[in-house]
Structure 1
Amino acid sequence: MTAPRPAVSLAEVLPWAAHRSPDHVALVTSTRTLTYSELDSLSNRVAAALRARGFEPGDVVSLFAQNSWQWIAAYHGILKAGAVVNPVNVMLTGPELRYVLDDCGARGLFIGTAEHERVGAQLRDVDLLTTVTLDDAFDRFVEHASSAAIPPVDRRPRDLGSIGYTSGTTGHPKGAMQSLESVLLNCAHTATMHGKTSADVVLSALPAAHVYGNVVVNGTFLAGGTVVLMERFDADRALELITEHGVTVIEGVPAMYSMLLCAPDLEGTDLTGIRVSTVGGQTFSRVIIDKWERLTGAPLLELWGMTELSGLGTTHSVYAPGCPGSIGVSLPGSQIVVAPTDGSVIPLPPGEPGELLVRGPLVMLGYYGMREATAQALTDDGWLRTGDVAYLDDSGHAFIVDRLKDMIITGGYNVYPAEIERVVAEHPDVAMVAVGRRPDPVKGEIAVAYVVLRAGADADRDSISAFCTERLAAYKRPRDVVFVDALPTTSSGKLLRRKLSDLDPAAAVAPSTAALSTADR
């Protein structure tokens, strides 16, 4: 038997891994454990079943479900059939999902059982060639399909492989067109930077539909390791899985680590087998990083990425000296610069904040069907305008200041919520914090801190304010503190800053201001 060549697109990842280690466990979920050979065969069946139902190379097939083994098998089966995969955020409503399906011209849909019960009635007249729920219907869909590899499709590295929709904070979401090359390279380079090998057991509760979750899963597959995939994050269950499976790598967002550190069973869990953890999605308190690193004795690597980059744009090498507070350096083959926010691409000197720009093979092909939006995001010479304010140090490490659109202008001063969040998060009684804006008749808008206290803590507004007074310039301090039970997040655990005002009892009565646009709230 002729050995398959090393993967040159994600469609070839499982065949290559199955050839190297057919009996090695690839995926562990709450309902099923699959070896590489089994997962490869299952995805072959999905590809064959799609072909049998008339799907052709280039057709778009959407995935809308919680994490599961069926989701992973369907994802790879879609790619093997030569189709374009469209992973969709499972938190979308029926109308939002319908918009995505119509916008990208999806011809097929794999949908979770609960999701179908929730939104299925709103999709009845959507023109789809087939809809498959990820339950017994999935088993019937692949039951009579061949498990043999189907003839490969002639696809070029820069051909469209995936369409990932942005969160749509203003207006409709945009479909970032990701090439086969960009997705594969992101997974490969990230796995390399994090030192993944076939000996690794990686715990993830990140949504597989999110680019970060995708890179975690498929980067592990490229290395030949094992993915322990949680349907949803639960701190107590995560600690059990760490012990049960001998987890060596944990990947997550800040809220997950905050919840792990507060879990009652933390003290009784042996974390010494963890060799590295990663965190992305938003700014993160150095205090929490230090606590986690002391518990595990291993580095917690901050990273940064975008849907428009098919995943990560920067991260740290697990073997490099630490750089506290940094999101790392660019992935191999890509360039990053910090440029003025006036639209030019002239690099700023180290230490000076500006807009972070990225160029290289990871950058999207453009937004699906949106030429104007593509032209705004991509320069003529290939730079992606990320919308993030950052600065570089002398060693090329990047430091995120905040999102341009999240900047608060108070009394003429520019205030970045992330800077305030880093300080408030260091308060010993604070479990989680997010900073938003509130209209103000004098200053235009003010910063408000939304705080989740640790169990048993009794901090009040005055203690939080006093803590900030010692650490922040007067114009940067939050002008109010709102205590809440939880913060609004996306399915990947990323903060939904635009939803913070829903938690603010004063926002409903605060005077309006023309300077505050609907898009900025």
Structure 2
Amino acid sequence: MSLPSLPQAKPLDHLAECGKAGDPALVLKGETLSYEALRTRVSRLSQWLIDHVPEKGSRVASWSSKGELTCLMPLAAARAGLVHVPINPLLKHAQAKHILHDCGASMLIGNKGRIASLQEGDVPHGCAVIEETEALSQAIVLESGLGPSDNDPEELCAILYTSGSTGRPKGVMLSHANLWLGAVSVADYLGMAADDVTLGVLPLSFDYGQNQLLSTWFAGGSVVPFDYLFARDVVKACAKHGVTTLAAVPPLWVQLTEIEWSEDAVAPMRRMTNSGGALTIDLVRDLRSIFPDARLFPMYGLTEAFRSTYLDPSLVDEHPTSMGTAIPFAEILVIDDGGNIADPGEEGELVHCGPLVAQGYWQDAERTAERFKPAPQVSKFGGMAVWSGDRVKREANGLLYFVGRRDAMIKSAGNRISPQEVEEAALASGLVAEAVALGVPDERLGHAVHLIARAERGAEDAESELPKYLARELPNFMQPQVIHWREAMPLNPNGKIDRTALKRELAA
């Protein structure tokens, strides 16, 4: 497909209409829904929602593992004129309480176990609580439902809560247009088609995870929602379902490269996508070795603007550490500290402009004003932009490179140190599978560099050899004062390495 200009956004529920009636749309454990069945289920669930939550714009939360309800809710709530609030099933009752109260939910639909975990005061006054099996059984027997809506694409459609790496989770407000155009953009640059099969391993409460559904359905393909316990479960599912598209975050990719892949799992794979952290050179090499015929798409995104950049697979081998260039419908500017466009090779802040920019944080004007500001005057889109706080540089060839987060930089003995640079050096040693660099308060230095590392399999001398390697490769001021070795890294609910937990642990 070709996207020469910005298309007209549609109400999100129209994604159910994109595939051919008889083609598979959703592969569940007990049945496969065709697009015709998907339309019927969305229609009836939408009607059921309106019957129970008639006030337009009300927030309806879902809290369950991947399945029919959690996959249908983004479209059904949108058709009903409601605002969907997906809660990550890995969260506990305290985090669910914060989200439910913060968004002012009118209804919570969840599975039996998660509802049973709720304690007194967790659910806001007037919020109905219903088990997903009951909701689906009541909806499916309705004689009629709602047809495709004519909702304004600029209306609020969903609130996605960030994982809360800094402070309490914030609710990012997304319109129909944000999600629709995101689906169109990703389906285009990934080259997705109606015969594609996407394995949905990422949480649907995660913007990257939810787009697994939306972009696949825009292309008319099918989605296999999948919750896994072990990396080998992902391999088995890829082989069983002939998966052509796999999206993951770096910690999962690391696990997947450490196990054997069957030919049945490798052969159908057409594309792999990564976001939520940069791929290392070694990880790119390993993935290219396992999947020589699949296209690898490194990507960068932030929930406040969904997705910002991707690296064309043809450039991955030559520029494996690049963030690439802007995705369709995104304008990415690099702004220096003086407010001007940064020169090639000069570090600046990544500013995302255009129709993928979210509507701000739910009922949080202060934090919205910090991140959502008027676009620079040179922007072709204008309006509000997301000032990411991420430091990047654009080289003369147009490719972007991540430098680090402004608030994550380690300031030690007057030096400004990028954690990513220390981490990349550790990973380049071949002794380390995963690495996180953090600044720990130090009376003498201000902050000392601490490195948390997980040794590469078979690197029995990693603990003694890594300090020697870093001494050769990094300047003195960047040397870790302490290296902490771990058997496993803590992960946050979206599957990323939980830097906040590690920082808290070191501060204890």
Aligned to 1:121: 119
Aligned to 2:342: 348
Instruction: Give the Cα–Cα distance (whole angstroms) in 1 for the partners of residues 440 and 316 of structure 2.
Output: 40
Instruction: Give the Cα–Cα distance (whole angstroms) in 2 for the partners of residues 209 and 362 of structure 1.
Output: 18
Aligned pairs for 1:235-250 (under 5 A) are 235-250=231-246
Query: Does 2:205 correspond to 1:209?
Result: yes
Given that 2:321 and 2:401 are in contact with CA atoms closer than 8 Å, whether structure 1 keeps it comes out as yes
Query: Does 2:82 correspond to 1:88?
Result: no
For residues 422 and 246 of structure 1, do their structure 2 counterparts lie closer, same or farther at Cα, with a shift above 3 Å needed?
same
Given that 1:193 and 1:318 are in contact with CA atoms closer than 8 Å, whether structure 2 keeps it comes out as no
Given that 2:60 and 2:107 are in contact with CA atoms closer than 8 Å, whether structure 1 keeps it comes out as yes
TM-score (norm 2): 0.91
Amino acid at match of 2:359: L
Aligned to 1:283: 278
Given that 2:344 and 2:396 are in contact with CA atoms closer than 8 Å, whether structure 1 keeps it comes out as yes
Aligned pairs for 1:54-453 (under 5 A) are 54-118=53-117, 120-123=118-121, 126-134=124-132, 136-146=133-143, 148-232=144-228, 234-263=230-259, 265-266=260-261, 270-297=265-292, 298-309=294-305, 311-318=306-313, 323-340=319-336, 342=337, 344-381=338-375, 382-453=384-455
Amino acid at match of 1:142: A
Instruction: Give the Cα–Cα distance (whole angstroms) in 1 for the partners of residues 34 and 298 of structure 2.
Output: 30
Given that 1:410 and 1:444 are in contact with CA atoms closer than 8 Å, whether structure 2 keeps it comes out as yes
Give 1:173 deviation, angstroms. 2.3
Aligned pairs for 1:421-500 (under 5 A) are 421-500=423-502
Amino acid at match of 2:135: F
Instruction: Give the Cα–Cα distance (whole angstroms) in 2 for the partners of residues 267 and 283 of structure 1.
Output: 26
Give 1:80 deviation, angstroms. 1.4
Aligned to 1:50: 49
Q: Note the residue ranges of structure 1 that are not aligned, 5 or more in a row.
A: 509-521
Q: Which moves more between the two structures, 267-276 or 49-58?
A: 267-276
For residues 233 and 471 of structure 1, do their structure 2 counterparts lie closer, same or farther at Cα, with a shift above 3 Å needed?
farther
TM-score (norm 1): 0.88
Instruction: Give the Cα–Cα distance (whole angstroms) in 1 for the partners of residues 175 and 313 of structure 2.
Output: 27
3-state SS of the aligned residue for 1:163?
Answer: strand
Aligned residues: 492
Given that 1:276 and 1:318 are in contact with CA atoms closer than 8 Å, whether structure 2 keeps it comes out as no
Instruction: Give the Cα–Cα distance (whole angstroms) in 2 for the partners of residues 287 and 271 of structure 1.
Output: 19
Give 1:212 deviation, angstroms. 0.2
Q: Which moves more between the two structures, 314-323 or 165-174?
A: 314-323
Give 1:332 deviation, angstroms. 1.8
Amino acid at match of 2:66: N
For residues 204 and 313 of structure 1, do their structure 2 counterparts lie closer, same or farther at Cα, with a shift above 3 Å needed?
same
Instruction: Give the Cα–Cα distance (whole angstroms) in 2 for the partners of residues 390 and 332 of structure 1.
Output: 19
Instruction: Give the Cα–Cα distance (whole angstroms) in 2 for the partners of residues 368 and 117 of structure 1.
Output: 27
3-state SS of the aligned residue for 1:228?
Answer: strand
Q: Which moves more between the two structures, 291-300 or 468-477?
A: 468-477
Percent identity at matched positions?
25
Amino acid at match of 1:33: T
Instruction: Give the Cα–Cα distance (whole angstroms) in 2 for the partners of residues 415 and 83 of structure 1.
Output: 45
Instruction: Give the Cα–Cα distance (whole angstroms) in 2 for the partners of residues 154 and 10 of structure 1.
Output: 10
3-state SS of the aligned residue for 2:272?
Answer: strand
Instruction: Give the Cα–Cα distance (whole angstroms) in 2 for the partners of residues 112 and 327 of structure 1.
Output: 38
The CA deviation string for residues 87-121 of structure 1, in whole angstroms up to 9 with x for no partner, is 22333332332222222221111223332222x22
Given that 1:284 and 1:422 are in contact with CA atoms closer than 8 Å, whether structure 2 keeps it comes out as no
Instruction: Give the Cα–Cα distance (whole angstroms) in 2 for the partners of residues 44 and 319 of structure 1.
Output: 41
Amino acid at match of 2:14: E
Given that 2:163 and 2:494 are in contact with CA atoms closer than 8 Å, whether structure 1 keeps it comes out as no
Aligned to 1:519: none
Amino acid at match of 2:213: V
- CA RMSD in angstroms comes to 2.3
Given that 2:18 and 2:220 are in contact with CA atoms closer than 8 Å, whether structure 1 keeps it comes out as no
Give 1:412 deviation, angstroms. 1.1
Instruction: Give the Cα–Cα distance (whole angstroms) in 1 for the partners of residues 182 and 349 of structure 2.
Output: 22
Aligned to 1:513: none
3-state SS of the aligned residue for 1:303?
Answer: strand
Instruction: Give the Cα–Cα distance (whole angstroms) in 2 for the partners of residues 94 and 279 of structure 1.
Output: 30
Given that 1:328 and 1:398 are in contact with CA atoms closer than 8 Å, whether structure 2 keeps it comes out as yes
